[in-house]
Amino acid sequence: MNRTDRLYALVEALRAVAPRPLSARRLAERFEVSVRTIERDLSALQQAGVPIWAEPGRTGGYCLDREHTLAPLGLTADEALAVTVGLGALANGPFRDAAARALGKVHAATRDERLAESLAVARRIAFLEPDDEDAPADVVAAALRDGQVLRLRYRDRDGEPSDREVEPLGYVVRDGVWYLVAWCRLRRAVRAFRTGRIVTLEPTGEHAPLRPFRAADLDIPYGTTRHVVED
């Protein structure tokens, strides 16, 4: 059983006996993994918002609050597959942590038979990604949301470093490679920074002025830009 299936099965195991607790040892025996693996999985579920808590003592263990669990989502197998593939595509991007948490919630709230059917197909889908692309720093994901000016050190395609202050505008992704689009104060123009080439990055605490952003304005010489959500 892979980790995604086990996370879902853990929720179902706790839900089946709620409000009684199950010990990590018993769960480890059931899923044939170590106690440490079970504790890591339960921690991941808690961070994803699943209402699990620990009861101390000899007869204690982990409990699931049945009253606050999500009702099963009414997704079809194809819809569950689309969500799984879509969030899986973000695994190496600036939203990877949020995508992993969201996927855990979707799987935990999708009906058994539909989830099993969608996962069977999802396991046959793979992404071909660049070997040399570093995952972007977590702060990149928050840059657009918080609207802060960022101070970064960046290496261009020739490896030459430069220090910049930029105002985040958006993101563009191409062939699995993410670019932070920002107003560059050094160049006084909009620039696209490949996230894998950002060496260091820190927020300055200064709020950036609101500037319009249209992917079509980047004048990218290949393909057609498409926004995730159209106006």
Q: Looking at residue 60, which CATH number applies to its domain?
A: 1.10.10.10
Strand order in the sheet with 161-174: 189-194, 177-184, 161-174, 148-155, 198-207
Helix (H) or strand (E) holding 46: helix 35-47
Do 40 and 81 fall into the same domain?
A: no
Q: Looking at residue 142, which CATH number applies to its domain?
A: 2.30.30.520
In sequence order, the β-bridge partners of residue 155 are 161
Structural domain boundaries enclosing 19: 3-68
Which 3 state secondary structure label does DSSP give 191? Answer: strand
Do 205 and 142 fall into the same domain?
A: yes
| Rounded CA separation 148/142 (Å) | 9
Per residue in 41-91, pLDDT (tens digit) is 998 888 877 888 888 877 789 988 766 555 556 678 888 889 999 998 888
The CA-atom distances, in angstroms, between 82 and each of 125, 139, 189 are: 11, 27, 37
Per residue in 160-197, pLDDT (tens digit) is 999 999 999 888 888 878 888 899 999 998 888 988 88
Domain annotation covers residue 103: yes
Do 54 and 8 fall into the same domain?
A: yes
